[in-house]
Chain A
Amino acid sequence: MECEIDERWKLVDRIAEETVTYGDGKTTLKDAIAELTVKPLTGLPIALAVLYGFWSFFSAFAGFFTDGFFVRLFDNHWLPWLQGVFPGKGSWYYFILVGDPAAGNSFEAFGMLTSGLFVAIGIVLPAITAFYLYLIILEDSGYMPRLAVLIDTLLHKIGLHGFAIVPMILSLGCNVPGVAATRTLQTKKQRFMMITLLAIFIPCGAQLGVIFSLIPEFAGIILLYLLIGFIFFGFILHKVIPGKSPEILIDIPPYRTPSLENVSKKLWVRTKGFFTTAIPFVLLGVGLVNVLYLGGVIDWLAEALGPLLTTWFGVPKETVGPLVAGFLRKDLAVAQLSAIEMTKYQLISSVVLVNLYFPCIATFIMMMKEGSERGVRGVLEILGGSLLVLATVLFIWGGLLHLIWIMMGVA
């Protein structure tokens, strides 16, 4: 049945009369603030402040535990005691477990029980706790989804349409849940892109922690270089890979005060996860590298890869050891790199390399698991594809940094 224009307007008026009232509602301060945080012009300065808050809180918290307590505990008490009582100085197992008997600090001893424990508990644990605490507060207050909307709006503008921010932010904690979170993405293309980009460019919380603790002065430039790489290669992958990338919809809850109970519960669950997965891997990583040293494998690798490392990437061949360790734990790799003697530009390059090259083993396993849902072919697609992208990115982006140093005349 059709009705005439007048009749229709009458109907509209009747409906409006019944449902619309003028003058009662009022925007609350919360709504007004929520609006300011998602609009790019006001949202970006706010994000700048939130990011600063993260860095400042993080360095105070991690500095307090690492420099204030763990460094003293390990260097003044644990290390001398262990060096004194551990039997078999000069033997292979002493080398693997305790490392250098003359080392003056836990950091440079390179044993499983010295450097391994120190890196895992002394450096990474405080860092990861601080990181998660801040992240959880941002999540529970409702800021995180708004930050996601803000970044999403910006990414739209540079052509990365419909991008998932949530896995990216999760990955800053640990790449493993980040890879798992890509399940929320709709298409194969999106999942592949995100998993690959995450594994290559996003440093995990532990790694960030070590970077912030040991070489804070270079943190900015390293992260910026990785971020630009993420956007650049994301753009290229988006163009190259066939398939669709629909928009990701997220819930935007209202702002609220985070509850202490919820925050502490989440913090406990996440740091517990760290204890059970990360610490064994750090210890294993140190052990593996030491075993490979003893077997001469590291020296052999350093000779074999040396020319490539020095001419293409511009880093000393001694970085081979940490790079091998990085396969198990990237935080450990960064820690070991910072103990090697080289120029600051070489250090920046090598930390970037650790980031770009092979994902750590936990992420690697997670990637296989993601692919396995689609059988052997899925695994091959994800791993084969990711590794191909990875190798390409590693050579281009790693080499480019060397080129930049050369052009600046510092390499």
Chain B
Amino acid sequence: MKLLLIGHPNVGKSVLFNRLTGANVTESNYPGTTVDYTKGYMQIDGEEVELIDVPGTFSLDPKDKAEEVAVKMLKDNEDSIVICVIDSTKIERGLYLALEIIEMGYPVVIALNMWDVAKDKDIEIDLQRLRELLGVPVVPTIAVSGWGVKELVSKIKDAKPRDISKIESKVEGTS
């Protein structure tokens, strides 16, 4: 099993990566590109799991080298679970990326990072409802302080592939 950490640039993805992995982090060049990515290891229930910090990307419709690598990485690691890191203050943009990944058939866990900043900006997110609609685990986190990281890890094994049409019908059904 492999884990891919995907998200927009500047959503605290690297901080979260540091909180999740320990030492033995290797930085390397993705084959055939000039884009660097980091790889580390973490433990889930005593099992060692590789975690790859995918370069920040806005969508899976690549517009630059880094995004190309991100897409390539997804394709090269088809059996991975994806942790999609979303900036809680810009949830729409993040959800778009998350939906794209869900559509590709990956099991996804969503980390709503910068939860504290969202609170500061008076943004309230109905977590329960979001989980219901998306059908994937959604965990609020504050990577800089480590808050919620443990819960995030405990939810990784709950990630399952989700059919996008189910999400659509859920959303339709309620509105």
Contacts and interface: CB of A to CB of B under 8 A. Distances in A.
Q: Which has the most chain A C-beta neighbours within 10 Å: B95, B127, B165, B168?
A: B95
A27 B61 CA distance: 36
Q: Which has the most chain A C-beta neighbours within 10 Å: B19, B22, B48, B165?
A: B22
A39 B15 CA distance: 13
A19 B94 CA distance: 14
B133 interface: yes
A146 B145 contact: yes
Given A19-B133, A249-B153, A27 B124 contact: no
A12 B92 CA distance: 6
Interface string B37-81: 000011100101000000000000100000000000000000000
B23 A238 contact: yes
Nearest to B133: A15
A150 to B, nearest CB: 9
Contacts of A12: 92, 95-96, 99
Contact of A245 (B18, B22, B116): B22
A27 B171 contact: no
Contacts of A376: none
A341 interface: no
Given A18-B133, A35-B116, A39-B144, A8 B99 contact: yes
Q: Which size bracket describes the interface of A in this complex?
A: 35 or more
B30 interface: no
B116 A27 contact: yes
B22 A161 contact: yes
A149 B148 CA distance: 13
B1 interface: no
Given A12-B96, A35-B116, A1 B145 contact: no
B48 A247 contact: no
B20 A247 contact: yes
Contacts of B43: 186-187, 246
A2 B104 CA distance: 8
Interface string A171-210: 0000000000000001100100000000000000000000
A186 B145 contact: no
Given A8-B96, A18-B133, A161 B146 contact: no
Given A35-B145, A246-B42, A250-B150, A19 B126 contact: yes
A25 B175 contact: no
Main secondary structure of the interface of B (DSSP, over half): helix
Given A15-B171, A146-B145, A22 B123 contact: yes
Interface residues of B, number: 51
Interface in A116-174: 146, 149, 152, 156, 161-162
A162 B22 contact: yes
A12 B168 CA distance: 10
Contacts of B175: 14, 18
Contacts of A251: 150
A87 interface: no
A36 to B, nearest CB: 10
A67 interface: no
Interface string A223-263: 00000000000000010000011111111100000000000
A246 B19 CA distance: 9
Nearest to B25: A161
A91 interface: no
A252 B150 CA distance: 9
A48 interface: no
Contacts of A8: 96, 99-100
Interface in B113-163: 116, 118-127, 129-130, 133-134, 144-147, 149-150, 153, 163
A254 to B, nearest CB: 9
Given A12-B99, A21-B124, A24-B124, A246 B116 contact: no
B81 to A, nearest CB: 17
A32 B2 CA distance: 36
A179 B41 CA distance: 24
Contacts of B24: 244-245
A29 interface: no
Given A161-B22, A245-B24, A249-B149, A13 B92 contact: yes
Contacts of B150: 249-251
A20 B124 contact: yes
Given A12-B92, A18-B133, A31-B116, A252 B147 contact: yes
A162 B23 contact: yes
Contacts of A35: 116, 145
A-B interface, 8 closest residue pairs, ranked by CB to CB distance from nearest: A162-B22, A161-B23, A246-B22, A25-B124, A247-B22, A249-B150, A19-B126, A38-B145
